[in-house]
Amino acid sequence: MYLKQLYQHNKILCAAIILFALAQLINNIRQDIAISPIYSYGMYSSRIIPADFYTVPEVFVNGKQLKAQDFSAPQWDNITLPITEFYTQESWNLHQWQQDIHRLLPFTDSVKFVNNISEQQFKKWYTVHLQTILKRKIDSVNIVFTNYHFTGSAFTKANK
Amino acid sequence: MIYKWANGLFLYQLAPSFFYTRQDLVTWLFMQTGMHQWLLYNSFGQISFDIAFYTMPLLYLVIYKYKPKLSAVTALVMLLVNFCYVQCYTLYPSNSIEGHIAWLLFPIVFIPQNKRTSMLLFEGLRYFFLFYFASAGIWKLAQGGAFSISQMSGVLLYQHNQLLTSSSGYWQAGLILYFIENQHLSYFLYISATLLELCFSIGFFTKKYDRLLVFAFLLFILMDILIMRMPYFEVFPLLLTLWFSKAKKMQVNLLH
């Protein structure tokens, strides 16, 4: 009914919308890389089995650990996402470049796809970032990745 | 907008120092502009982007009211601004681009000068919104998550290990841990969410239940905030397509 109305009103628009819908469907079926604004919405759809161990980033400001309960969900993401993404971005971005971008597109230079930031620069930026979120002066920031064991009912620090 | 500002989610508040290249062909082409790198450590650029992004809807409204002949061009500019902003914003440690889909698609409705065309595009967005949810349910069946009893416990552990380890005495941590420990109960939640998502496919055949789907969506969002700590507020504009799906006259008023 909708497509019929669309076709009668504007054939080009109708073709464009059918094309968009088909692209969306095919991309989902092929489980291919996204082509903005065509994405798949399958978050948490693949099997996720509870693990025995989890590596958790912890942030200590002036020697005191930040707690998720003291922040809204977006604020907490704003605190932890930069950490988790910084420590994986180098290998991830390079992988994207080598595995797909370089292969699918005629680009020869990776400079637009990888960062040029050292850990020291990141930590300097992160201290300022935290000061803005916490709205107070920070003397020291310590980022630790701690390995936790999930016992089935609680988390306990795993032996190194 | 106030919610985002209060939670430090404006671009100038994120003040990014690096980006994370996602798997997206259009994004890779966009990255050739170097815009995402120009914004790093660039307070002026970040604030300018925020101002452009958040004032465009208001600007469109003013232009439509006082200079309607320029409204199509303004809508086109809004689409371009939204595209550039969302592309850059989601390359930084912030949020997924999928959650920003309403920003990317909604301006298209305002581009045509012809009201009938706008209405048909608006209706097209309704079908997209139905697909958005129904496909999420289908994915859970196709990828097997819906057939694993321990799925939701695994999801909760993955999603909340920071909350559970840093704030074990907090009420929300207690609630989440309760669901993790009771796998059948948490699996029931996961299946309920899957069924709720699949219910959106009914909208492809009838508009009769659109208002019910609005409430289903609101329930989904509420549970997402409570159990997953994921506020999906960016998708809210798409709700309008369900709410006004049967009111042709209201659609016209809403769009023009």
DSSP letter string, B187-254: HHHHHHHHHHHHHGGGGGT-STTHHHHHHHHHHHHHHIIIII----GGGGGGHHHHHTSS-HHHHHHH
- Helix-strand-coil percent breakdown of chain A, rounded to 5? 50, 20, 35
Q: How far apart are CA A107 and CA B127, in angstroms?
A: 37
pLDDT (tens digit, 9 = 90+) per residue, B85-102? Answer: 999 999 999 889 999 999
Q: What is the pLDDT along chain A (160 residues), one digit of tens a residue?
A: 899 999 999 999 999 999 999 999 999 888 889 999 999 998 899 999 999 999 999 999 999 999 999 999 999 999 999 999 999 999 999 999 999 999 999 999 999 999 999 999 999 999 999 999 999 999 999 999 999 999 988 899 987 5
> Nearest C-alpha of chain A: how many angstroms from B32?
6
Nearest by CB to B161, from A37, A46, A148: name it.
A148
Q: Which residue of B has its CA nearest to A75?
A: B7
Q: Give A56's DSSP letter.
A: E
State the pTM of this model.
0.93
> From the candidates B149, B162, B189, which should be mutated to test the interface with A, based on the most A CB atoms within 10 A?
B162
> Nearest C-alpha of chain A: how many angstroms from B148?
7
Residue A63 sits at the chain B interface (C-beta within 8 Å)? no
User: Which residues 106-135 of A are in CB contact (within 8 Å) with B?
Assistant: 107, 112-115, 117, 121-122, 125, 128-129, 132-133
Among residues B186, B197, B188, B190, the alpha carbon closest in space to that of B136 is found at B197
* Complex confidence, ipTM: 0.93
Enumerate the residues of chain B whose CB falls inside 8 A of the CB of residue A93: 19-21
Inspect the interface and report whether the beta carbons of A56 and B87 lie closer than 8 Å.
no
> Nearest C-alpha of chain A: how many angstroms from B240?
18
Q: Which residue's structure tokens are 């958790």? A: A56
Q: Give A48's DSSP letter.
A: -
Helix (H) / strand (E) containing A60 = strand A53-61
Residue A30 CB neighbour total at 10 angstroms: 9
Q: How far apart are CA A127 and CA A18, in angstroms?
A: 49
Inspect the interface and report whether the beta carbons of A81 and B26 lie closer than 8 Å.
no
User: How is residue B199 written in tokens?
Assistant: 């219910």
Inspect the interface and report whether the beta carbons of B229 and A114 lie closer than 8 Å.
no
Q: Which residue's structure tokens are 């109960």? A: B185
Inspect the interface and report whether the beta carbons of B154 and A39 lie closer than 8 Å.
no
Q: How far apart are CA B168 and CA B179, in angstroms?
A: 14
Do residues A114 and A94 lie in contact, with contact meaning Cβ atoms separated by under 8 Å? Answer: yes
